[in-house]
């Protein structure tokens, strides 16, 4: 999870929304380059990468969250959503609103997300990243850069 979440963990109530990660680091943005510096975790289902558009003060930032499908949101994913069912087992990226993803009784944040699902080494299950996940990660980074430049 990006460092920006850790810096604001208590103040912006992230602790009520997300499980606390093993580390707050900005190295999650490029797994192919920094994967050796991040712990390895086995996932029962797909690994999820979320790029969240955040507004901290007057500046916009992208927050990165990476982890196993079952261990990101405290309240879990919205099981009635077709999108979240696909995230569990299929590999793809899409844009959506956070409010449509989270299974939560009170109103979840309504921020825009880029969410990607991968069943390979994004969660560092294997010691050697496969080429399709390196390409997948590169596409995510390019989309993020384009969004940053044009928004």
CA distance 35 to 25: 12
Closest to 119 in 3D by CA, of 78, 86, 95: 86
Digit-coded pLDDT (tens) for 97-141: 988 888 876 777 788 899 999 886 546 444 434 445 556 667 777
CA distance 94 to 46: 15
CA distance 68 to 43: 5
What pLDDT score does 136 carry?
Answer: 64
Stated as kind and residue range, the H or E segment containing 136 is: helix 131-150
Based on the structure, what is the number of domains in the chain? 1
CA distance 97 to 121: 25
128: helix, strand or coil: coil
CA distance 117 to 46: 6
What pLDDT score does 135 carry?
Answer: 62
Gyration radius from the chain CA atoms: 15
pTM metric for this prediction: 0.72
16-40 burial: b if 16+ Cβ within 10 Å, else e: ebbeebeeebebbbebbeebeebee
CA distance 97 to 83: 11
Tokens, residue 132: 């399709």
Provide the domain limits for residue 134: 3-150
Report, as ranges of residue numbers, the positions in the chain whose pLDDT lies below 50.
34, 122, 124-131
What pLDDT score does 2 carry?
Answer: 86
What pLDDT score does 41 carry?
Answer: 74
CA distance 98 to 48: 14
């Amino acid at each position: 999870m990006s460092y920006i979440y850790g810096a604001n963990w208590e103040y912006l109530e992230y602790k009520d929304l997300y499980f606390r990660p093993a580390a707050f680091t900005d190295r999650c943005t490029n797994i192919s380059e920094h994967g050796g510096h991040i712990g390895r975790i086995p996932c029962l289902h797909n690994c999820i990468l979320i790029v969240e558009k955040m507004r901290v003060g007057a500046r916009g930032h992208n927050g990165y969250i990476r982890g196993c499908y079952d261990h990101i949101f405290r309240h879990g994913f919205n099981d009635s959503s077709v999108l979240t069912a696909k995230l569990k087992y299929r590999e793809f990226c899409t844009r959506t609103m956070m409010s449509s993803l989270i299974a939560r009784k009170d109103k979840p944040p309504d921020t825009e997300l880029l969410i990607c699902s991968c069943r390979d080494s994004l969660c560092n299950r294997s010691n050697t990243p496969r080429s399709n996940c390196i390409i997948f990660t590169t596409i995510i980074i390019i989309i993020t850069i384009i969004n940053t430049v044009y928004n």
